[in-house]
Amino acid sequence: MSGPPARPLGAEARAEIARLVGLYEHRQSALLPALFVAQREHGYLSPEALAGVAEALDLPVSEVASVASFYRLFYLKPVGRHVIQVCTNLACMLNGCAAVVRRFGERLGVASGETTADGRFTLRTVECLAACEEAPAVLVDEDRWARVTPGDIDRLLERYP
C-alpha cells in the first residue's frame, strides 16, 4: 500500500484534546470534540486517527470507533476538500431542493455520498439544517447558502477551489 505513512495525532491536536478534557468531569465527554480535532487534522477519521483519539483519552479503540460510527458528521472514509450538504427535508422539498440536488449531481458527476475524482467535493443530501426560512438551504463546509436555485450552482462551486 502506498500513501503517507501512518502517524498518530500531532502535538497540537494532542494539546487541544488535553484542553478539552479539562472542561468536563469525565474525560470521555471530550470524545466528540476530540474526534472533530482528529478529523480536522487527518481529513477524515482514519484508523490511525481513531487510535490516536483512543490513546489521548485512554479509551478502547472499539469504543471510539463505535461512537464515531453513530454520528453522521464523523467521516470514516476520506471526503473531498469541501463537503456540500444539501437539505432535503420538508421545507426545502416544498421549495424545490430536488432540482438543486440534481444540478449538483450533474455538475459534479457524483451521487449523494460520493466524492469527485479530483477530491475537491463530497456531495451529501442531509436532513433539516434548521434554516427553513432560507429554503432550499445548502451548507458548504461552514457556510450556509440561502434560497439556492439550480442557476446559482456554478457560481457557488467556483467559490470553493
Partner 1 sequence: MTTFAMPESIVLRWAQTPGMTELEPYRRAGGYEAARRVAAGELAPEAVIEALVASGLRGKGGAGFPTGQKWKFIPRQAPVTYVVVNGDEGEPCTFKDRTLLEGAPHLLIEGVLIAALTVGARKAYVYLRREFYRARRTLEAALEQARAAGLVGRGVFGSARDVEIVVHSGAGAYIAGEETALLESLEGRRALPRLRPPFPAQAGLYQRPTLLNNVETLCHVPVILTLGPERYKDYGPPALFSVSGHVVRPGVYEAPLGVKLRSLIFDYAGGLRPGRRFKAAFPGGSSSMPLVADHLDVPMDYDSLRVLGSMLGSAAVIVIDDSADMVEIIARTVEFYREESCGKCTPCREGTIWATQVLERILHGRGRPEDLALLEGIARGMTGTCFCPLGESVPPSLVASLRHFRDEYERYIAGATRGH
- The window from 4-12, 27-35, 107-115, 149-157 that contacts partner 1 (CB under 8 A) reads 27-35
Q: For 48, which DSSP code? A: H
SS3 (DSSP) at 124: strand
Distance CA 47, CA 153 (A): 35
Per CB under 8 A, 35 contacts partner 1? yes
CB atoms within 10 A of CB 7: 12
Q: Which of 93, 106, 109, 149 binds partner 1 (CB under 8 A)?
A: 93
Residue 122 near residue 115 (C-beta atoms within 8 A) = yes
Taking the complex as a whole, how short is the minimal distance between the CB of residue 39 and partner 1, in angstroms? 10
Per CB under 8 A, 33 contacts partner 1? yes
Residues forming contacts to partner 1 in the complex (CB under 8 A) are: 23-26, 28-33, 35-36, 66-67, 70-74, 85, 88-91, 93-95, 127-133, 135, 139, 142-144
